[in-house]
Amino acid sequence: MSQYKSVFQRAKNSPSDFWLEAARAVHWETPPTTGLNDNNPPFNTWFEDGKINACHNALDIHVENGRADQAALIYDSPITGSKRTLTYKELRDEVALFAGALAAQGVSKGDRVLIYMPMIPEAVVAVLACARLGAVHSVVFGGFAANELAVRIDDCEPKLIVSASCGIEPARVVEYKPLLDSAIELASYKVPCCILHQREAVSATLIDGRDIDWQDAIAAAKPADCVPVKSTDPLYILYTSGTTGQPKGVVRDTGGSVVSLKWTMSNIYGVEPGEVYWAASDIGWVVGHSYIIYGPLFHGCTTVLYEGKPVGTPDAGAFWRVISEHKVSVLFTAPTAFRAIKKVDPDAALLKQYDMSMFRTLFLAGERCDPDTLEWAQTRLGVDVIDHWWQTETGWSICSNCLGIEKLPVVSGSPSVAVPGYDLDVLDEQGNPVAPGQIGALAVKLPLPPGTFITLWGAPERFKSAYFSTYEGYYETGDAGYIDENGYVFVMARTDDVINVAGHRLSTGAIEEVLAGHPDVAECAVLGASDDLKGQLPIGLVILSDGCDRSNEDITKELVARVRELIGPVAAFKSVAIVNKLPKTRSGKMLRATMRSIADSAEWNMPATIEDVSALDDVTTALKNMGYASKS
Ligand code: COA
Ligand code: AMP
């Protein structure tokens, strides 16, 4: 039997033993004697009698074990022209001090701390400081607008918010403080305290009695020690898009996260402690949590925090520069970043300027990896390019070529095979496994491995109904696909209204709610149309209220501005058209999939239950005018 199959079988046959063995590789205050407790599915727990601290595993353990002077974090910011390296000891000391500052404001174990920050070292310090105290961090991506921030504030009720004066995008400085103030104003829950890091580009005005300058906070603080917590205590909440405007607060436990992420570093990524690992993502996304911050640090690697873009900061050689300058062994990013590079520098001419000899593997995830991009990266870089599939909910990959176990042949279009720990099936509508090669819902048989989500914050019933109710005994991933005869998995599309824009997960339902809130809109639909660069882009189709006599141009402009203001620029919502009718079934269900196929010029069949066929002509014309449906 192949090495991969044997490890997979062990994890499947005796998950408790398998993960208890993996748990020995991390530091416990009280080592666990039990692995899995599945008495109350789907609320399974891992290592429930263990006590642990995630920050201790990320920093202190390495300082104590000979890595004090090794770089823990390299901050590289072409956007501000600055770089900074922090050794494990320096990062530990900064984190301990900031943890002391949080504690001085009354933050302690179990309290939530919301972090709304750009890609600067202070953001990593804030995250780890929370973990040090056993406080629960919730990082909100900087590209979200005040309204989205307010929704998250109300949901997790933070004791404190850590933020910065601004984020810096290539074309503009994004002032965070006005967004923060307006979010706090909008939220019903009143945040008592904010700590704000002032960046050089903008000095924000602080509100007396509520806001504290980061420098003042640490000047007055004493370093805090790690607080051991129960393995099952939450490490963080990370909000992700669901099918409605109310985001889902994915909760991850502490012990499971430490054990699983440490395990993935060697078994999936094939990385050794001491090597440089770079996840070119954002700390606001799950990739940033797992592989900018926790995974590499648990493993004693050097992690890179990159504040820049794949192109334009300053050119399409930016990734190669970072790899060669910091001797990166493994890069993890989204295919969209490579599509952006390929578009600007199709022959990768800029590569020639850099010494890439240390670079070994490129991992891609976040969206479906198109074969062209995979092949381009393989031939230009001459290294292994591994597509792997995962989700905010799982925290680490469901499918991958596990380089540290056994390198399997790469099959274009497939994120390879199920990772040990994930017993994956393809199910039909009745919940029966289908034959190899047949498309169905991708679902993971319970139990989920450690480090996956344990609940949704404040919404255990939604946790059950959204993920575990359709197929008895399974976690429903929300993705559809198939598994071939050799066990290779192909992830084809979402089964819900979630779309993927430049590797960012967005809900069409949430955008529809924003459009529907415009006073002149009677009805609307938002679809994810294919886009060569970003994978998908949201496009809106709206019907105006009777009697509205304002110009279409004014209204569409307002709708674009409204989505930007209420969801954020990251939605990249730029295309919206006014139509007279929207296609629906006779029972009133919007035919979004049909409209999407028309937009993409893909094949589609006339739905037998369509109420009014002429609505399709109306929509097709509107889509054509927006540059879609070219072959319809
Ligand atoms: N704070 C504020 N605004 C932000 C932001 C942040 N942290 N991140 C993005 N934005 C804004 C951008 O400025 C842009 O605004 P604009 O409409 O004024 O131009 C908008 O949100 C869309 O940003 P982005 O998705 O980054 O698109 P882009 O056109 O600027 O760049 C890529 C396209 C492909 C280069 C870029 O999406 C990219 O690098 N993607 C990498 C994928 C990734 O990190 N995925 C995470 C999961 S692995
Ligand atoms: P997120 O929770 O933001 O990480 O988004 C998760 C979703 O992105 C998944 O459910 C998939 O739809 C998609 N996705 C992530 N990685 C891949 C991949 N390698 N191949 C196809 N789709 C992917």
Span from the CA of 515 to the centroid of ligand 1 (angstroms) = 22
Provide the 3-class DSSP secondary structure of residue 371: helix
Predicted local distance difference test score (pLDDT) of residue 18: 98
> Which pLDDT value is given to residue 245?
72
CB contact at 8 A, 537 and 572: yes
Q: Is 336 in the pocket of ligand 1 (CB under 6 A)?
A: yes
Site to probe by mutation for ligand 2, drawn from 241, 291, 389, 489 as the one with most ligand atoms within 8 Å of Cβ, is: 389
Each domain of the chain, given as residue ranges in start order, spans 82-227, 502-625
* Alpha-helix runs per DSSP H in 385-476: 460-467
pLDDT of residue 632: 64
Cα 102–Cα 105–Cα 107 angle in degrees, nearest 5: 60
Give the distance (Å) from ligand 1 centre to CA of residue 570. 6
pLDDT digits (tens, 9 = 90+) for 386-443: 999 999 999 999 999 999 999 999 999 999 999 999 999 999 999 999 999 999 999 9
Q: Please indicate whether residue 288, judged by its CB atom, sits closer than 6 Å to ligand 1.
A: no
Give the residue among 484, 348, 358, 477 at the shortest CA–CA distance from 409. 484
Please give the average pLDDT of every successive group of 10 residues along the chain, which has 632 residues. Answer: 93 98 98 97 97 98 98 98 98 98 98 98 98 98 93 97 97 96 97 98 97 98 98 97 82 98 98 98 97 98 98 98 98 96 96 97 94 95 97 98 97 96 97 95 98 98 97 96 97 88 90 94 94 94 93 96 95 96 86 92 87 92 93 68
What is the predicted pLDDT for the residue at 611? Answer: 87
- Phi, psi (rounded to 5 degrees) for 483: -120, 130
Q: Which of 4, 60, 8 is nearest to 29 (CA)?
A: 60
Tell me how far CA of residue 344 lies from CA of 92, 169, 338, 417, 618, in angstroms.
Answer: 40, 19, 10, 33, 36
- Using a 10 angstrom Cβ sphere, with 0-12 exposed, 13-18 middle and 19 or more buried, the burial of residue 323 is buried
Q: What is the largest CA-CA distance in the chain?
A: 74
For the chain, the straight-line distance linking the first and the last C-alpha, in angstroms and rounded, comes to 50
- The superfamily in CATH containing domain 502-625 is ANL, C-terminal domain (3.30.300.30)
Question: β-strand 136-139 against 112-116: which pairing, if any?
Answer: parallel
Q: Whose CA is nearest to atom 21 of ligand 1?
A: 570
Reduced to 3 states (helix: H, G, I; strand: E, B; else coil), residue 172 is strand
The pLDDT value recorded for residue 493 is 85
- Dihedral over alpha carbons 297, 302, 303, 306 (to 10 degrees): 160
253, 131 contact by CB (below 8 A): no
Residues 442 and 424: beta-carbon distance below 8 Å: yes
82-227: CATH topology: Rossmann fold (3.40.50)
List beta partners, residue 229: 52
Q: How far apart are CA 478 and CA 466, in angstroms?
A: 9
Is the minimum distance from the CB of 282 to ligand 1 under 6 angstroms?
yes
Cα–Cα dist 432/438, whole Å: 12
User: Which residues share a beta bridge with 160?
Assistant: 113
**Cβ partners under 8 Å of residue 169, min gap 6:** 79
